[in-house]
Structure 1
């Protein structure tokens, strides 16, 4: 999973980003009328700035309309207190500059919504042109920090629908990396990144309450959905994953005083050819974090390397893990009606913390095979119950 940087507020925020603040009445604003050009070459950043300012001043629901064509955008921040709901309707393609350093050398964001309420982003394609950035990362050269595609910070009552983010430098959709978000819906989104592209998480959620992710197709080079600290009441349904890593709670315990993850559900989803299926992952070091009230249910695995896994001994290069034991307390996790095939012989791995064993783990109606034979399970430092048909045989 990508490590998410939390920048200090004392840093000069976004040196090269245009801040889009609402200054105070038609309701529809076509970016062409603000000077945007759909040629994919002319910088349309200021035109989007102007359309946002006009929409902010509308006393009725406002639509910022992006017609067909390719619109070049540099780093942009949309922020402000406004008078009514704002909808971005994107019928064209938003394109990042060809030079990956143009957006990756500043703040870690390409398109950022910050301190906004009641915003919808509906439409088509966000092309971040990340190929050259991925090549830089894999070459060992000195590369910029990179930029996430679309991010929401301190945002409430948000809808993201129908988007197709492609060629991302880092994560595609982030809710959020700096401040609390509440009541967010991400639906019918198609995320595409090469399976060898590093750190391209599909959707990252943290510091957020009441987020719903439904009907999405996610192909990435990292986690399909990554879930960070202080995520509560997250509902995920109808997710099609693969290739990529997993739907992952974690990595947790990056910080000692990290908040916990609670009331998370993933249901009616399919994993195809991914590295992992449903995953809970923490660093092997002290932490005040917790994971509880988690439900993974009604899931089909197709040739997945680790369909079910809890791994609490994450410590790359054995650095930064003084006790080699995770402080994260994992409890009340249910795995129900998970069927399909494993690409490895051990389909169920529970490798929990020796100092904080997993508790209240429940298996119900699990059937996972490997090469047309029952798969195997492995358990360490875990307690729980099993009911129904359990294949591989439970090791709880």
Structure 2
């Protein structure tokens, strides 16, 4: 019996030594396939040292750790994997999270990630890039801090329509079946989030913030994507809170509080050749506070032919908005000939609140392809600080076929 006990103790000791060795190895190289399915960037060498004196060395190190953790998670075969970014502050350069992966992926950001401000490190115009992934969730309550204030002075897009934009904070490309929620994007260098060539993409409970004078910091730009839903979010930027670009179809925008910024826009459209049509856009239950525009459609003159159709703006509240309702087909600097973007079937329903300018409704369509099927029902806008008398606000419409119903304040245009 004593011999058996001694052998058992010896075996137990060997097992314990092996287990401790395995754990030590895992702590150095990260979780292995088949354990908890959680891949913590700290296990791959990331240190929450975002205030390092040598930002470039720190950012390159953290970037490498983030990508190593992603590759391991993406290749794991458990059906789903989680990349965890714990609390703390991390400094990174450009990060590419690329698929396809063996299963669905979750990126849980609990900490704050800061972007390096050395723009020479960005070989392409984005900071965090999610590419070619089917099944993605990004959440965790953390923050992506683009540190844009350090580089906004280099943005020359106000003076040049052919400028090169600074990097977007987060770009989703060829991503399917995605949910992004409970994330903060702070002070992006250019666009906060760019959704392009995506399908079935949902975002909700986002906080997107940049100063009102920050250049080209669109909260979310959506292009060439289908079935996109953005809801229940606070967005305040120096540009459009949400902008709908070419090729966007079946886009739902609900319960957004927008301001500061340039409002919620379809466009600009028609700037480039071979743009795809836009259709099926719904903007409902949104509030715009102190923005330069409310709900806007904008196209470039001199554009190639395309279409923007089946667009609805419903149940919108304007709070001290400079230009509440706008269609502008003379947007931008090219004035050679009228826009060739055909706008049709646009509904404005139950839009109320205050305008900072007497011209609360401005519908300026193309003389070559006039707007058709425009409906305005129950519009009730008044100039900020004035009475609700109908003569306190006005409207202007050109090259548009519009039908009116219900309350019209300002009075309906002569069309």
TM-score (norm 1): 0.88
Counterpart residue number, 1:229: 246
Counterpart residue number, 2:125: 108
**What does 1:35-46 correspond to in 2, within 5 Å?**
35-40=45-50, 41=52, 42=58, 43-46=61-64
Tell me, in whole angstroms, the C-alpha distance in 2 between the residues paired with 1:140 and 1:227. Answer: 20
**2:137 aligns with one of 98, 105, 120:** 120
Counterpart residue number, 2:189: 169
Q: CA deviation at 1:99?
A: 3.0
Q: CA deviation at 1:145?
A: 4.4
Three-state SS of the structure 2 residue aligned to 1:135 is helix
Three-state SS of the structure 2 residue aligned to 1:146 is coil
Tell me, in whole angstroms, the C-alpha distance in 1 between the residues paired with 2:243 and 2:159. Answer: 27
Q: Deviations over 1:116-140 (max 9, x none)?
A: 1101111310011111211233799
1:149 aligned to 2:164?
A: no
Counterpart residue number, 1:130: 148
1:283 aligned to 2:300?
A: yes
Tell me, in whole angstroms, the C-alpha distance in 2 between the residues paired with 1:260 and 1:144. Answer: 24
CA distance 1:139–1:394, change in 2 (3 Å): closer
CA distance 1:145–1:343, change in 2 (3 Å): closer
8 Å contact from structure 1 (residues 272, 304) kept in 2:
yes
Q: Deviations over 1:288-335 (max 9, x none)?
A: 21111110000100010110000001232xx4x432x01011110000
Counterpart residue number, 1:160: 180
Tell me, in whole angstroms, the C-alpha distance in 2 between the residues paired with 1:141 and 1:225. Answer: 23
Of Structure 1 and Structure 2, the greater helix share is in: 2
CA distance 1:57–1:137, change in 2 (3 Å): closer
Tell me, in whole angstroms, the C-alpha distance in 2 between the residues paired with 1:141 and 1:249. Answer: 22
**1:239 aligns with one of 233, 236, 256:** 256
1:356 aligned to 2:365?
A: no
Counterpart residue number, 2:80: 61
1:339 aligned to 2:352?
A: yes
Tell me, in whole angstroms, the C-alpha distance in 2 between the residues paired with 1:254 and 1:135. Answer: 25
Three-state SS of the structure 2 residue aligned to 1:221 is coil
8 Å contact from structure 2 (residues 155, 166) kept in 1:
no
Of Structure 1 and Structure 2, the greater strand share is in: 1
Q: Would you say how many aligned residue pairs link Structure 1 and Structure 2?
A: 364
Counterpart residue number, 1:191: 208
Three-state SS of the structure 1 residue aligned to 2:155 is helix
**What does 1:74-89 correspond to in 2, within 5 Å?**
74-89=93-108
Tell me, in whole angstroms, the C-alpha distance in 2 between the residues paired with 1:94 and 1:302. Answer: 33
Gaps of 5+ in 2: 1-32, 53-57
**2:387 aligns with one of 372, 379, 383:** 372
8 Å contact from structure 2 (residues 157, 164) kept in 1:
no
CA distance 1:366–1:140, change in 2 (3 Å): closer
8 Å contact from structure 1 (residues 201, 226) kept in 2:
yes
8 Å contact from structure 1 (residues 71, 95) kept in 2:
yes
Gaps of 5+ in 1: 1-23
Three-state SS of the structure 1 residue aligned to 2:69 is helix
Q: Deviations over 1:196-230 (max 9, x none)?
A: 11111000000000000001111100111111111
Q: Deviations over 1:162-203 (max 9, x none)?
A: 111111100000001xxx210000111110001111111000
Q: Which has the larger radius of gyration?
A: 2
1:326 aligned to 2:339?
A: yes
**What does 1:182-221 correspond to in 2, within 5 Å?**
182-221=199-238
